[in-house]
Amino acid sequence: MSSEGPVLGIPGIDSAAEIGRAASHITYRVRDVATGRIVVIKLLNAGRDWPGLEERFEREQSAMAALVHPNIVPVLGHGWSETGMPFIVTEEVVGGSIADRLRGPTPMTGPDILGLGVRMAGALESAHRADVVHGDLRPADMMVSPQGEPLLADFGVVTLVRHDATDVADPVELAHVAPELLDGTPATPESDVYALASALYTLFAGLPAYVRPGDQSVIPVIKRIASDPLPDLGAKSVPAPVVDVMSKGMAKNPAERYQAALDLGRALQQAQVALGIPVTEMAVLGSPKARSAPARSVTTAATPATAVTAATPGTAATPPAPARPTAATSAADSPPPNRTPLLIAGIVALSVLLAAGVFFATRGDDSEEAVSTTTTTRETTTTTSPTTTETTLPPATTDILTNDEGQLSVEVPIAWASRDTTATSGGFPSIRAATDLAEFLGTTFVQPGIEFVTFPVDVIDPSDLSAALDQIIAIDRGGNTLDTLCIRGERTEFVPNGAGLVVGQFEALSACNGGGDVLIIAATDAALSFTVLIEVHVGSPPDDAGVDVVTSTFSVVQFP
């Protein structure tokens, strides 16, 4: 090692220069002598003789080195200095951090923050599946690559050194600490979920939820974290779907939060769908950990537009589904996706409310100025991203089908002029609509179209929606069923946005009889008072815009 710069007691490096200092570690930029490559070394303020530290350090950093994730700063190695201090070697990230964006002249837009949250959730979930908890996630740990890709850094660094989250003097250090950590409880995946939601909250609001300007002591911050309600982001013009996700992500009781980073990421994707924002990919690596009970809470279930793509190490993640799977389905979490996600999450919304103005402009300011909302209609052109990309929904007509058994309403594209509104043999309201109904009812699967049927509880049990989907699968189609005609997808729980149906299950099937894709959906309301079965033929070539219309406007208006 050269005589210039600090002497770290780490062989094989030179030209060390300190570039950052925290209570838990000091960060150096160094040159690897063997390769000439510039890397970063974090030298932890800990000792090899600390009880349990060596085993945990070796386990966690070996796991992180093996985890090649598109949104995690690569760990190149780890070891021990000549004085017995642990160090971690990572790639150098030169694009700054998300914290810099908070202080900079160009705060992030609302859609930017949602996209960031989805990617960070995928990174967290992947680390958790490798049994590594971050423990101190904050905007400063979210780095930005020169290509603009967010990268999460410093997994396990702080928790190795500081066992008590409140053992700090600066109130800002507590900004993203989950309430359960205030009594010295070790960090958990649930506390990481809180920290990520808190970091995103800060980006939306411009300030942490519980730290006030001028705070000189940690005591008032601890009291606020423990007992104060979450300040309302709605007052800062953040749309309701986003406010709901932040509120659940930062619930004081860990049992009331999203139970995995994956669930938080899916909820953020669902908010993107509700707001008409292109859905961000979420790369998740590794096998899911067993949970104590199946997730049945409708607020944590995934939407059809939020299927997770398991990225191959060393490759970029591909966009998430509603997803026509391919034959080579990944075992990690969901089928590989296709092009543009459909608005399946809005299946029962009579309209999708888009929060306008400030949310799609810059965030991170402390303005209390309110903005209005606009409602999309079938013939309205709406901007769906902070860029100039626009989506025009095709003209549609509203069908309201009423009889003694119930009433349903749905908007159908005018181009889907071939339709049948004859009730089922049991008298239940139903509709079939397509560009060519004869082809739709055949087994070519090339004509786009939809079929809705609503059933009372004594006909189809709404408490078992998976069994209801099985009934769609089992329908005879000229001597075949969907499972023999199509490539099956993964079945996913989801929560539609809007009033009416509040929980459902979804499965996407692809290449049906060599034609297009089929989406099957079973849904009900919170009271489990009916079951609706929906089959959507996407068509070949796909009519995504037409499918968007029917799946974002369907509603059970009444049911006896």
pLDDT digits (tens, 9 = 90+) for 331-351: 333 333 332 222 222 222 222
Final residue belonging to a domain, choices 44, 68, 91? 91
In a domain, 222, yes or no: yes
Q: Is 123 in contact with 72 (CB distance < 8 Å)?
A: yes
SS (H, E, C) 165-194: CCCCCCHHHHCCCCHHHHHCCCCCHHHHHH
Please tell me whether residues 107 and 253 are part of one structural domain: yes
Residue entry with tokens 């009423």: 402
**What's the CATH code of the domain at 62?**
3.30.200.20
pLDDT digits (tens, 9 = 90+) for 106-146: 568 899 999 999 999 999 999 999 999 999 999 999 999 88
Q: In what helix (H) or strand (E) does residue 19 lie, and over which residues does it extend?
A: strand 13-21
Two structure tokens written together for 101: 């964006």
Please tell me whether residues 439 and 408 are part of one structural domain: yes
In a domain, 405, yes or no: yes
What is the number of structural domains in the chain? 3
Please tell me whether residues 551 and 425 are part of one structural domain: yes
CA–CA distances in Å: residue 92 to residues 28, 76, 95, 307, 522: 10, 10, 9, 32, 48
In the 8-state DSSP scheme, what is residue 428? -
**CA 289 from chain center: how many Å?**
18
Final residue belonging to a domain, choices 42, 65, 91? 91
In a domain, 60, yes or no: yes
3-state percent helix, strand, coil for the chain, nearest multiple of 5: 30, 20, 50
In a domain, 324, yes or no: no
Counting beta carbons within 10 angstroms of the beta carbon of residue 339, is it exposed (0 to 12), middle (13 to 18) or buried (19 or more)?
Answer: exposed
**CA 383 from chain center: how many Å?**
22
In the 8-state DSSP scheme, what is residue 122? H
- Give the span between the Cα atoms of 331 and 89, in whole angstroms: 31
Strands 75-80 and 373-375: unpaired
- Give the span between the Cα atoms of 197 and 347, in whole angstroms: 27
In a domain, 312, yes or no: no
Please tell me whether residues 131 and 81 are part of one structural domain: no
Considering the chain, what percentage of its residues have pLDDT values greater than 90? 32
Q: Which residues contact 74 (CB under 8 A, 6 or more apart)?
A: 68, 90, 91
What does residue 507 show for φ and ψ, rounded to 5 degrees?
-145, 135
Question: Which residues are designated catalytic?
Answer: 136
**What's the CATH code of the domain at 483?**
3.40.1000.10
Please tell me whether residues 79 and 150 are part of one structural domain: no
DSSP labels, 67-101 = ---TTBPPEEEEEE-TTS-EEEEEE---S-BHHHH
Please tell me whether residues 441 and 551 are part of one structural domain: yes
Please tell me whether residues 176 and 243 are part of one structural domain: yes
Burial 523-559, CB ≥16 within 10 A → b, else e = bbbeeeebbbbbbbbbbbebbbbbbbbbbbbbbbeeb
Q: In what helix (H) or strand (E) does residue 64 lie, and over which residues does it extend?
A: helix 53-66
**CA 427 from chain center: how many Å?**
40
Please tell me whether residues 547 and 398 are part of one structural domain: yes
Please tell me whether residues 194 and 267 are part of one structural domain: yes
Please report the pLDDT score of residue 103 as a whole number.
Answer: 72
Q: Is 396 in contact with 413 (CB distance < 8 Å)?
A: yes
Cis previous bond, 541, omega within 30 = yes
**Average pLDDT, integer, range 203-209:** 93
Q: Is 555 in contact with 379 (CB distance < 8 Å)?
A: no
- Give the span between the Cα atoms of 118 and 111, in whole angstroms: 11
**Average pLDDT, integer, range 157-179:** 80
Please tell me whether residues 144 and 231 are part of one structural domain: yes
Of 33-42, 189-198, 232-241, 434-443, give the range with the top mean pLDDT: 189-198
In a domain, 377, yes or no: no
**What's the CATH code of the domain at 121?**
1.10.510.10
Of 374 and 9, the structure prediction assigns the larger pLDDT to: 9
Q: Which residues contact 362 (CB under 8 A, 6 or more apart)?
A: 106, 107, 108, 109
Q: Is 335 in contact with 323 (CB distance < 8 Å)?
A: yes
Final residue belonging to a domain, choices 91, 114, 141? 91
Of 152 and 479, the structure prediction assigns the larger pLDDT to: 152
Considering the chain, what percentage of its residues have pLDDT values greater than 70? 73
In a domain, 245, yes or no: yes
What does residue 143 show for φ and ψ, rounded to 5 degrees?
-90, 165
In a domain, 388, yes or no: no
Name the residue type at position 107: P
Please tell me whether residues 212 and 141 are part of one structural domain: yes
Please tell me whether residues 117 and 246 are part of one structural domain: yes
Of 432 and 496, the structure prediction assigns the larger pLDDT to: 432
| Lowest mean per-residue pLDDT among 78-92, 106-120, 183-197, 345-359 | 345-359
- Give the span between the Cα atoms of 430 and 37, in whole angstroms: 66
Q: For residue 219, what are the domain limits?
A: 98-302+353-359
- Give the span between the Cα atoms of 350 and 287, in whole angstroms: 38
